Structure 1
Amino acid sequence: MTQATDLADEYFAYRQATEPHRLLYSGQLDGLANWEDLRSPAITERQESLRRFAARADAVALDASDDDRILLETVAFTANAAASGLTWRNEQTHVNPAFGVHTRLATFLGRFALSTAAHGDDYLRKLERLPTMLEQLEEEITTSAADGNVALARHLSASADAVEALVAADEQPLASQAAPTALSPADANAWRAEVDRIVSDRVLPALVDYGAALRELSSRGRSDAQAGICHLAGGDELYAELVWASTSLELTPEEIHEIGVDQIERLEAEYVEVAGPLVGATDISDIYAHLRDDGSMKYESGDDIVRDAAAALDRARAAAPGWFSSIPVSDCLANKVPTGPLAFYSAPDPDTGKPANFFFNTADPSAWSTYQLEAVTFHESIPGHHLQIGGFRESTTLHPVQTQFGITAYLEGWGLYTERLADEMGLYSSELSRVGMLSADSMRACRLVVDTGMHALGWSRAEAIDYVERHSPLSSTQIEGEIDRYIGMPGQALSYMIGRLEIDSIRAAAEASDSFEIAAFHDQVLGYGMVPLPTLRRIVAA
């Protein structure tokens, strides 16, 4: 043990204790009964503690070994970034229909693998304490609004609609938790009856009150013309802080905006070259319209989606050893789900032998364009997140801080990098599938323009929607969902393309060496867990 690992251990334990959902999302049931304390004094205390951890890590790093310095830089960055995120507190004071508390409750509660009677007792306590958490939320939102710090009217109204729909659901998701497996049939029935009682008598009335508070506040919400946080007191300074927390780089919003515009121009030239001959058009607007509207490019069956994804994964699995010297032992499988994001990766569990999965939401197969699928597959599985996160989970040397505290610019920058790497590897099955690579890039490049446009340059929601409609093949429904996400999570969407471009730049510098080997480069990028991008550049350059 070193001073660095001791500090990292202390920091990791603090984050787990103050953010109980971290353990729960990873399948650990310690702290199941608890909710985060969302009151302003508790938030301020957490921010101060996180800043102290960062300062201590910076001080220890001055005399640390190379490996310890890397760990300490990850501690310092994630602590400072978490403190910045608490300043925004989007779940408390900035309600967004895509990720408000109602979304967490509907998708989070009822999905735990409870085994013991103690787990059952903790779950009942969690439900009993839910009204208190909602009261804290309501107080924070109301107080913030009185200070002029209020969400968009449309987001408050849509969130109220979602809360009301959750309360009125015929099959109540909040009462769907399976009983602990250790209980006898009679005890399990009694336990489920108690869950039903708490949900009916305490949880649903609290949600009704919370929804009513959102509905009342919607009349005072910001207009769509004031979509960005530049319209809030201190918004410019906060956005600059969130840009750093999302990218780990010292870039101004204006610089990022111009990077996005440049990327869009380059992409449109690629569309004309790759997609133009396929759709019989040379005008970029016509190309986008064809890709957006051609029904023959839509899936009709969820089984077809999984079949094509599995075939792409097979090609990637076979090709990977020529490009990577370290590949996770755990397998990665394609599966479909009826709810959740369009696509997401679930890491393996080496202790139980559970493989990794990447899931496709197939509730509406036509939401998937045939040309999109392969790029998404490579991003989520091989050579993307499975070789990254799956490898982290199997590591016996990385600290949990390096494997469990996400640094989005590193995490998603790698995902985007591998969409282009897959092209180098010859994994795309057709020119049409290569268009999917361009489509994914379009969305991420547009994010640089519209996120900075709204939050730094004062763009309206409509201006942001119009820009993406003119510069990508995304559908109107997809675009509106994306823009509303960016409004509610300032800066977060910048991390994807900025991360990829930085990894591209780091690789270009490494390729200047006569001894460059692609597999060795990838080992360096993936060998130290999640790291800030300046740290990654130093690792590769060493």
Structure 2
Amino acid sequence: MKARIFGFILCVALSSSAQANTPSAQQLAIQQESARLNSWFEEIYQQQLAFSPMQMTRSGSKLHYDKLDDFSEQALIKQHAWFNKVSTHMVESFNPQLLDKESKTSYDLWLYQQQIIQQSHIFRHSEYIFNQMFSLHASLPQFMITSHRVENAQDMRDYISRLKHLGTAIRQLTVRAEANMKHGVIYPAFALQAIAQQSQNLISGKPFAQGEKSPLWQDSLSKIAALQQHALISTEQAQILVKAAEQALLQQVAPAYQQLIDWCRASLPLAPKVNTGIWLRPNGKDYYAYQLAFHTTTRMTAEQIHQLGLDEVSRLTTEMEQLKQQLKFDGSLADFFSFIREDTRFFYPNTDQGRQAYLADSRTYLAKMEQKLPDYFGLLPSTALEVRRVEAYREQAGAAQHYMAGTPDGSRPGVYYAHLIDMAAMPKPEMEAIAYHEGLPGHHLQISVAQQLAHLPTFRRTTRSTVYTEGWALYAEFLAKEMGAYQEPYNEFGRLMTEIWRAVRLVVDTGLHAKQWTEQQAIDYFRAHTPINDNAIVAEVQRYLMFPGQATAFKIGMNEILSLRQQAEAHFQERFDIRAFHDLILGGAALPLHLLKQRLDDWIAADTQPRYLLNTAVVLERP
């Protein structure tokens, strides 16, 4: 009898459990609508990808491997019309009230991107097409050299086809630069000179003239030789490919770059005598407001950002003063800045050995940091990270280090690039923080993890947000201290150097573009508040002149991530899990700040700690 009663109770319990686990009609509707939207996002992403053969290559695909993107204004107009069309379709076809939280975030992100694209289209004649730092005239050859893998003869034929398209791309971009000048986009002399010199570097030497092999010619020969070495092509096939590459360089690449060089030289007399911001343009105020909104994803005004910068500079100056005293330096903070700038102990020799030592020590810092990642992150990158010197044809004294993402499948590593032509602009105290910023736990970790989030639509995994991406990387510099970095006190001072550098950016960027500062005023402010080398200061200020608003994103993004962390710590208190917090921030990929804030609010409202399985996108909830 007891057995029958127990069996009855067990059956009732199992039945109740089954009913509890059966989705309700509302839950089923949400699952179906979310699945339908995510499926649509994948279809639309493939349509969007068709606009960019280069993005296909970066993602590891060899579809349209023989083509580059269309950089004409007509292509921009076509893409803008397509985005409006599909966005309208999304709004008309899907019910946002029937989406799960992650799908609703994707829906909101797409609409946010549409708003940004609308503004971008309105201001398309206000942008600098070329610049001295990350411009397509230099990055297109870099793409050819680093991203176009040659594994067989057809890959090499596609490479040569792309060389021909490179000429077309440079001509398209030059036409747009000429057109934008008619709308008041006048280039400063330093930018024109740098663009012309970088372009000349690409078409100097063989096969264009006597001398060393030019970068693209050297790359062509190396790729063909590798095929021949692995017996993938015959000697006769190699000769045919070499000749075809030479003709593409001489007939397509060289004339296009020469046209760009000639345009730069012809534009020099128009350059302003005194460099200042875009406030001088007829629509400069509106364009700068758009750039601030684009890069920060906030509604902060130039005045608010300027004041935030002043406040942060004051706070960090106090911290630097305290550390100076701990180091028992006898003198003012300005004296300490001079000491950091000038004492030879803080620099590697300006030799090949010194450059190799810089790269080797950066790799050592990153290797030690990699060992500590599992204590702070559940989501970890599977893509390898390399540290390299910037290629000679685009290297600049004092220019900022930067990161290039690897492929989602790991076939191409992520790369931390450093400009090492002038070792006096690369002080040892700040190199540790910058390695963490560009590598681990900074850009490489964040971008590689985003690429691995298989539960998210592909468009979200590939989206970039300046304030999120750069804010995370600056937060990573700060986090590294908590992870045990900066054991050398001067390196901790270097971390403060890099943070105040980003705080100064808030003041200087808004000073140049909203308060009518000159380039020299910006340089003077920078020099007064940081120990950064003069060449680096000049390069920084000139960067802000060419990229209005971009420099403000770093500190604003970092501050928001720190604020979100403080909110989570206050809510969970002793239950706060740093790995869960980081996985929450990273697990949604790059988001504008209002959607990132919503993500944290939802987490706190649910009162659970999300935990991700290592290197997967499976979320485990735990109280």
Match of 1:119 among 125, 141, 155: 155
The one-letter amino acid of 2:79's match is R
Give 2:294's match in structure 1, choosing from 242, 245, 256. 245
Q: 1:495 is paired with a residue of what secondary structure?
A: helix
Instruction: Name the residue aligned to 1:107.
Output: 142
* Alignment TM-score, normalising by the size of structure 2: 0.79
Alignment of 1:236-275 (within 5 A): 236-275=285-324
Read off the aligned partner of 1:148 and give its amino acid letter: G
Bigger Cα displacement from structure 2, 291-300 vs 216-225: 216-225
Greater CA deviation, 328-337 or 65-74?
A: 328-337
> In structure 2, how many angstroms separate the alpha carbons of the residues matched to 1:153 and 1:312?
38
**What is the aligned counterpart of 1:161 among 179, 197, 221?**
197
Name the CA shift for 1:123/1:79 in 2 (closer, same or farther; >3 Å). farther
- Which 4+ residue blocks in structure 1 deviate beyond 6 angstroms? none
| Contact in 1 for aligned 2:58/2:407 (Cα 8 Å) | no
Q: Would you say 1:209 and 2:259 are equivalent positions?
A: yes
Determine if the alignment matches structure 1 residue 323 to structure 2 residue 376: yes
Please identify, of 446-455 and 320-329, the stretch whose mean Cα deviation from structure 2 is larger: 320-329
Q: Which residue of 1 aligns with 2:13?
A: none
Where do residues 122-137 of structure 1 align in structure 2 (5 Å cutoff)? 122-137=158-173
Could you tell me how far 1:346 is from its partner in structure 2? 5.2
Offset at residue 309 of structure 1 (A): 2.9
Aligned to 2:552: 494
Q: CA deviation at 1:26?
A: 4.1
Which residue of the partner structure matches residue 21 of structure 1? 54
Q: Which residue of 2 aligns with 1:144?
A: 180
Tell me the secondary structure at the aligned position of residue 512 of structure 1: helix
Determine the structure 1 residue equivalent to 2:355. Answer: 302
Counterpart AA for 1:18: F
Cα pair 1:229 1:455 within 8 Å, conserved: yes
Asked if the contact 1:275/1:432 (under 8 Å) is kept, the reply is no
Shift of 1:79: 4.3
Which residue of structure 1 aligns with residue 577 of structure 2?
Answer: 517
* Equivalent residues, number: 541
> Where does residue 96 of structure 2 map in the other structure?
62
**CA shift in 2, pair 1:230/1:24, >3 Å:** farther
What are the Cα deviations for residues 145-169 of structure 1, in whole angstroms up to 9, with x where unaligned?
Answer: 2333322243224323333343334
C-alpha spacing 1:117/1:80, structure 2 compared with 1 (3 Å)? farther
**How well do the aligned residues superpose, as a CA RMSD in angstroms?**
2.9
Q: Quick one: distance in 1 between partners of 2:85 and 2:554?
A: 28
Give how far 1:388 is off: 2.0
- Paired position in structure 2 for 1:530: 590
For each residue in 1:124-175, what CA deviation from the matched residue of structure 2 results, as whole angstroms up to 9, or x when unmatched? 3322233333332332222322333322243224323333343334322232
CA contact (8 A) 2:125 2:183 kept: no
After superposing the two structures, state which structure 1 stretch, 451-460 or 497-506, moved more. 451-460
Superposition pairs of residues 364-383 of structure 1, within 5 angstroms: 364-383=422-441
Provide the residue aligned with 1:172 in structure 2.
214
Gaps of 5+ in 2: 1-33, 206-210, 603-623
CA distance in 2, matches of 1:81, 1:267: 33
Question: Aligned with 2:327: secondary structure?
Answer: helix
1:410 corresponding residue in structure 2: 468
- Rounded to whole Å, the distance in 1 between the matches of 2:408 and 2:86 is 30
Per-residue displacement from partner, 1:196-242 (whole Å, max 9, x unpaired)? 122113321232222112211221233434x3222222221122112
2:512 and 2:522 in contact (8 A); partners too: yes
Tell me, yes or no, if the aligned pair for 2:127 and 2:185 is still in contact at 8 Å. Answer: no
Q: Distance in 1 between matches of 2:240 and 2:563?
A: 60
Distance 1:89 1:240, change over 3 A: same
* Cα 1:49–1:483 shift into 2, 3 Å: farther
Identify if the C-alpha distance between structure 1 residues 342 and 185 changes in structure 2 by more than 3 Å, giving closer, same or farther: farther
Distance (Å, rounded) in 1 between the aligned partners of 2:114 and 2:330: 50
The residue that corresponds to 1:42 in the other structure is 75
Moved more, 161-170 or 78-87: 78-87
Equivalent position amino acid for 2:447 in 1: I
Please say if residues 163 and 253 of structure 2, whose CA atoms lie closer than 8 Å, have aligned partners that are also in contact: yes
Q: Which amino acid aligns with 1:206?
A: A
Write the deviation string for residues 425-450 of structure 1: whole angstroms up to 9, x where unpaired.
33221211111111111221111111
Q: Distance in 2 between matches of 1:70 and 1:344?
A: 29
Retained in 2: the 8 A contact 1:54–1:77? no
> 2: CA distance between counterparts of 1:124 and 1:240?
42
After superposing the two structures, state which structure 1 stretch, 274-283 or 470-479, moved more.
Answer: 274-283
Distance in 1 (CA, whole Å) between partners of 2:89 and 2:529 is 45
Displacement of 1:331 in angstroms is: 5.7
Give the deviation of 1:347 after TM superposition. Answer: 4.9
Aligned 8 A contact 2:202 2:214 in 1: yes
The aligned residue for residue 98 of structure 1 is: 133
103-112 or 260-269, larger mean C-alpha shift: 103-112
Q: Is the 8 A contact 2:129 2:176 kept in 1?
A: no
Shift of 1:308: 3.0
Q: Which segment is superposed worse, 432-441 or 204-213?
A: 204-213
Instruction: Specify the code of the residue in structure 1 equivalent to 2:57.
Output: L
Alpha carbons 2:125, 2:180 under 8 Å: kept: no
* Counterpart for residue 283 of structure 1: 332
Range with bigger deviation, 47-56 or 392-401:
47-56
C-alpha spacing 1:281/1:18, structure 2 compared with 1 (3 Å): farther
Q: CA shift at 1:364, angstroms?
A: 4.6
| Higher mean C-alpha deviation, range 79-88 or range 60-69 | 79-88
Mean Cα displacement is larger for which, 289-298 or 508-517?
508-517
1:353 and 1:161 map into 2 onto residues whose CA distance is 33
Determine helix, strand or coil for the equivalent of 1:224. coil
Quick one: structure 1 residues 418 and 117, their matched pair in 2 at CA, closer, same or farther if it must change by over 3 Å? same
The equivalent residue for 2:619 is none
Q: Structure 2 vs 1, CA of residues 265 and 248 (structure 1 numbering), >3 Å: closer, same or farther?
A: same
CA contact (8 A) 1:96 1:484 kept: no
Question: 1:386-425, aligned counterparts within 5 Å?
Answer: 386-425=444-483
**Secondary structure at 2:270 match in 1:** coil
Deviation per CA, 1:495-529, whole angstroms, max 9, x where unpaired? Answer: 11111011111111112113322222112111111
Task: Name the aligned partner's letter for residue 96 of structure 2.
Answer: L
1:313 to 351, 357, 366: 366
Q: Equivalent residues in 2 for 1:176-187 (5 A)?
A: 176-177=219-220, 178-179=223-224, 181=227, 182-187=232-237
CA distance in 2 between counterparts of 1:393 and 1:518 reads 22
Q: CA deviation at 1:289?
A: 1.6
Structure 1 residue 230 corresponds to structure 2 residue 279 = yes
1:30 to 50, 63, 66: 63
User: Aligned pair in 2 of structure 1 residues 290, 215: CA closer, same or farther (>3 Å)?
Assistant: same
CA, structure 1 residues 329+9, in 2 after alignment: closer, same or farther (shift >3 Å)?
Answer: closer
Matches of 1:354 and 1:219 in 2, distance apart? 43
Distance 2:465 2:257 in 1: 33
Do 1:78 and 1:407's aligned partners in 2 also have CA atoms closer than 8 Å?
A: no
